[in-house]
Chain A
Amino acid sequence: MVATTQPTGPDAIAHREWSRYTTKERWRRYGVMALVALAVVWSLSTINIIWPWLWDAPEQMGDLFARMFPPSLDGWKDIAWTLLETVNIATIATFFAVFLSLPIALIAAQNTTPNRFTLWLGRFILVSSRSVNTIIWALLFVAVFGPGVLAGILAIIFRSLGFLGKLLGEAIEEIDRAPIEALESVGASRFKILIYGIIPQVMPTFFAVSILRWDINLRESTVLGLVGAGGIGIILQGAIDTFAWQTVATILLAIIGLVIIGEAISAYLRKKVI
């Protein structure tokens, strides 16, 4: 039995061909690829694109950039002032959002929430805040409070709450139980447990998350003005509407500068805090 099969064995092994995927894997890959191709063909064939506009696009873009050059420095004072306003909107909104997100994080974390109802309430607040974009919040608040910085600040606060609350809530869920038990065993009240047991443990996350959100908010506050909610977006929109492309170029450069500086500051602070 063994002797008869022996000669064919090595022969068969020598003639095997190596392949990276099994048959099943290969068919699955073809399936996924076909699905992707189908989705792309469907999108491209049914989308409402006016093709001549696309062929025209490089020329139009070139024309646009040619008009932008050289950036005009007229009204740089206005630009600098609204840039400062933009930074203030982002900072103030982050400041308030951080404080407001703390109680939400506490009720949305499984180990600190008082009961099931508050847990779901907390989660509901987080999900609804996170799934509505800042611009959409801004649209709503501009309709309510009129165009201006308040609408912008509220939009950023409402959007940041979900982000901050979610990340802080996750940090609270991961805390070490031992200090809490120690406090409970000496009869500390709930409030004292919070102050002495929970908050010190989540403090590093708290700062890291706040700094990260500030950086994001700085970017978002540059576009709030486009729906009328204050900041540099308002003069950007004004410059675009009046075809003052050279001013547009200056504003865009100012925004790049702001974003890069913001990123540098937040990177520095993160290193400092953690």
Chain B
Amino acid sequence: MSSTVQSTGRTWKKPPFIANPVLRWGLLIATVAYVWWAMTSLPFDWDRIQDGVPRAIRIFKGAFPPSFIRGELLFDGFMESIKIAIVSTLLGLALSVPIAFASASNIAPKWLYTIGRGVIIVARSFHPVIVAILFVKAVGFGPLAGILTLTVYSIGFVAKMLAERIEEIDWGQVEAIRAAGGATFVTLLYAVIPQIMPRQIGLSIYQLDSNLRASAIVGIVGAGGIGSTLLNAFGRYDYDFALAITLCIIGVILVSEAISGRIRRNLW
């Protein structure tokens, strides 16, 4: 009886997210200290930042209403972006398939596996913009640099995902073809490829969409497409045209995302 009387006086407290109090307070203090340190050590140029508000007002005044007067330039830029995306997706896929086979641990010998994974890691580590700069230096300004960049970008993603799919295949079919005396190439063609085909097609469509997005940004460093048009508009302080381009980029990305999502849903 007395215990129930006592328990009514207690109030419930939410259990803390991290049970250990030392760890909890330690993490909190460490986070606060880090944020404070980072904010004070980063080189902010406060004088220039104070100019920001009037500048922002001027930019937004200049940007509204968006100007579609140079519609032809806009259209050409987009067409170039789409072409870059198509060609680079095709090239990237053609190169990703052998690289994916090379970097699947259940198929490739150890030495080939190491090389394949190395290629994927290098292709994935660099942001497409960095790759684009290098290609612009090597092959000059224009869509060619964009195509090469996005080819590398596609390899990094498609080869990785495809290699993972190859590692998950049902091994029984491979054994069956081998038992029937199939050569290595025949085994790949009839036992492995049919199993990875659905994933491959899904990835291709995803990558086309992804390359279209990326082609809008590699143009900013001179690799052709709508990004170049956008950078020029920014450089000439044509903020109304820049806004028009940005709105069109958003529109195109939403449409392409919707289309690719729909196709992939139907596939899987």
Contacts and interface: CB of A to CB of B under 8 A. Distances in A.
Residue of B14, B51, B129 most packed against chain A (CB within 10 A): B129
A149 B125 contact: no
Contacts of A227: 220
A57 B91 CA distance: 16
A92 B35 CA distance: 7
B75 to A, nearest CB: 13
A1 B44 CA distance: 95
Interface of A: 39-40, 42-44, 46-50, 53-54, 56-57, 60-61, 64, 85, 88-89, 91-92, 95, 127-128, 131-133, 135-136, 139-140, 143-146, 148-150, 195-196, 203, 219-220, 222-223, 226-227, 230, 236-237, 240, 252, 255-256, 259-260
Contact of A256 (B35, B83, B126, B142): B126
A39 B35 CA distance: 50
Given A92-B35, A139-B234, A149-B43, 7 more contacts: A43-B83, A47-B87, A48-B142, A88-B41, A139-B220, A148-B49, A226-B221
25 contacts: A43-B82, A44-B83, A47-B83, A47-B143, A50-B140, A61-B138, A95-B35, A127-B254, A128-B250, A132-B250, A133-B217, A135-B129, A136-B220, A136-B249, A139-B220, A140-B59, A149-B44, A150-B44, A222-B127, A223-B127, A223-B130, A226-B221, A237-B133, A255-B130, A260-B121
Contacts of B262: none
A254 to B, nearest CB: 11
B144 A49 contact: yes
Contacts of A195: 14
A219 B127 contact: yes
B145 to A, nearest CB: 9
Q: Which DSSP category, helix, strand, loop or mixed, fits chain B's interface?
A: helix
B203 interface: no
Contacts, number: 150
Nearest to A46: B83
Nearest to A203: B17
Contacts of B31: 95
Contacts of B130: 222-223, 226, 236, 252, 255
A259 B127 CA distance: 10
